[in-house]
A and B are shown apart, each in its own frame.
Chain A
Amino acid sequence: MNGAHTSLALEQAPPISVPFRFFLAAPVFLLAAGGLMLANGPELLASRWHPATLALVHLLTLGFLATSMAGALMQMLPVVAGAPIAFPRTVAGLVHLPLMAGTLWLARGLDRADAHDIRLAMAALTLACGVLLLACGHSLLHSPVRHATVRAMRLALLALTATAGIGIALAAVRVGMLNLALLPWTSLHAQWGLIGWVGVLVMGVSWQVIPMFQLTPAYPAAVTRWFGGVIYAALTLDSATPWLASAPAAWITTGTHGVLVTCLASYALVTLRLQAARRRKLPDVSLQFWRIGMASLLAAALLWLAGQVTSIGDDPRYPIALGMLYLAGFAISVVNGMLYKIVPFLVWFHLQSHPARRNTAPGMKLVIADSDSRRQLRLHTIALLLLFASLGWPVLAHVAGFTFVLSAGWLWWNLLQATRMYIRLAAGSPG
């Protein structure tokens, strides 16, 4: 019984080294982003087109978010979609290293306007995204499951394809290989990446994990059934813009953006309400990260609305503030919080799957103590507050960067301790 038991439990999940190489690398990029901010300070907040700002954004999106999400996808696809990734170690290797190297080359290339670095980044990131898309796409096409999370994952991967494709094209423009109108394409690149890929993937995952971790009621069917598709349709409509001979009527663009913002804001509101109705009332660090994320997403939506009806939209800090709320406040918080559930669970799961260790594998709170993750939550919260405050008092940008370095370092240390515990217990004489 034990033999069959073990192999069956394990054949669903990839080896622990597959997701962990991504989870352990991601905080390093968050740390690097904090370091960049510490070094450059207020300059970074002057314009979204500042070279160091572009570098910073890609350290966060590719380095922290895409890296964590690639690891989580490779772990979750077998469980959620019932379709394991073929050759997981090979795929992980072909995605992980090129993604790391490509992100560093891209950040350096953008920061220093170095065409050589950007060309290297183009090659590495094409490989990383291509392999990830092929592997996950293959798995999803063969999934026997048809529920909302799987649909959201499909849409998110299509959005990643669009993001990567446009991103490579923009890089080609940057090094003079191609001629495109930068402004509309950059907007589309950001929209597909932030909303289509990050937003829809977070949504699809939350439809499973919010009820599961906190014992909340399920998401309303109207939300899980329609939001992914509506967002995708709005993004597709927007993507026609650069092809048109003349810019579309302003109301069309505002309308599609309005649809996107409405979906995101409703999602945040519904999530906060479900969490308020949760049956598990124990304090939970991961839940706090989610709440910060949802509050930031709501704030971003309100800011967008204010930008439409007041002159705030003309302030050069407006797009920066939107980006801060969405990227740092929403996306990074949620992913950070998720890591505190996924990593301890996987340490337990892989330890207990060995028959001799079935009854000794440490529970989740022994892998990463609540007190450790709570301290990092505090640092993350302070870093976010300092970041938002630096819009009014730019000199605070240095301090915000420093606090992000501390927070990312602490996150990394917590994940590293969990990994070391796994290595120690897995190597020790079992039983």
Chain B
Amino acid sequence: MSTISSYLTAEHREADVLFSYAEQAIADGDWMQAETWFQRFTAATLNHFEKEETVVFPAFEQATGNSSGPTRMMRIEHEEIRGMFDRVSNAIVIHDVEGSLGLAETLLIVIQQHNIKEEQVLYPMTDRLFGGQHDGMVLQMRQLQSAG
């Protein structure tokens, strides 16, 4: 029953929670927990990216006939964010508090800026484009849900 926009936005908020748990664990020096939560955060985010890149973006590109517009920008930013995951993970593995907190905060701002663009521009456009087909697309995305 949910719209594409509300489904994907809810995933952003869930990832935010996982991120905040990971960050708190780093600050507490609880490295086991930090690794676990950060892994869950990256897994959830990567799964979210997959749903966007294989369901939403192609449909958007087909409907608008434009594959060099906002979806291209979003794919590029996904790539950028994927690249940052490793750097934070590596800093957590070597128990570097300042390094991992600093990179985590940087990652957070990059992700939040990206989310704002999606939530304020791309998702509403997608909702308008696929007025009657929300359920089908949300179902497709649910099928991609990884067990995590």
Contact = CB atoms under 8 A, between A and B. Distances in A.
A363 B104 contact: yes
A282 B24 contact: yes
B98 interface: yes
A281 B20 contact: yes
B139 interface: no
Which range holds the interface residue count of chain A?
20 to 34
A9 B23 contact: no
B24 A365 contact: no
Interface string A1-26: 10011001100000000000000000
Nearest to A144: B121
Contact of A363 (B19, B76, B105): B105
A359 interface: yes
B98 A208 contact: no
| A-B pairs with lowest CB-CB distance, top 10 | A363-B102, A365-B102, A363-B103, A212-B112, A279-B20, A363-B106, A366-B102, A215-B16, A364-B105, A364-B102
Nearest to B105: A364
B99 interface: yes
Contacts of B104: 363
Interface string A335-376: 000000100110010000000001100111111010000000
Nearest to B17: A279
B109 A213 contact: yes
A362 B112 CA distance: 19
Interface in A253-306: 279-282
Contacts of A280: 20, 23
Interface of A: 1, 4-5, 8-9, 79, 82, 144-145, 147, 208, 211-213, 215, 279-282, 341, 344-345, 348, 358-359, 362-367, 369
Interface stretch (B29-37, B42-50, B79-87, B127-135): B79-87
A279 B17 CA distance: 7
A369 B20 CA distance: 20
Contacts, number: 71
Given A145-B121, A279-B17, A358-B83, A9 B106 contact: no
Given A345-B106, A363-B105, A365-B102, 4 more contacts: A5-B76, A208-B116, A365-B101, A365-B105
A364 to B, nearest CB: 5
B109 A345 contact: yes
A309 B114 CA distance: 48
B93 interface: no
14 contacts: A5-B76, A9-B80, A79-B113, A145-B121, A147-B120, A208-B116, A212-B109, A212-B113, A281-B20, A345-B109, A363-B99, A363-B101, A364-B106, A367-B102
B63 interface: no
B70 to A, nearest CB: 10
A79 B121 CA distance: 12
A282 B20 CA distance: 9
Contacts of A9: 76, 80
B144 interface: no
A215 B109 CA distance: 10
A215 to B, nearest CB: 5
B105 A5 contact: no
A79 B120 CA distance: 12
Contacts of A358: 83
A364 B99 CA distance: 9
B24 A281 contact: yes
B77 to A, nearest CB: 8
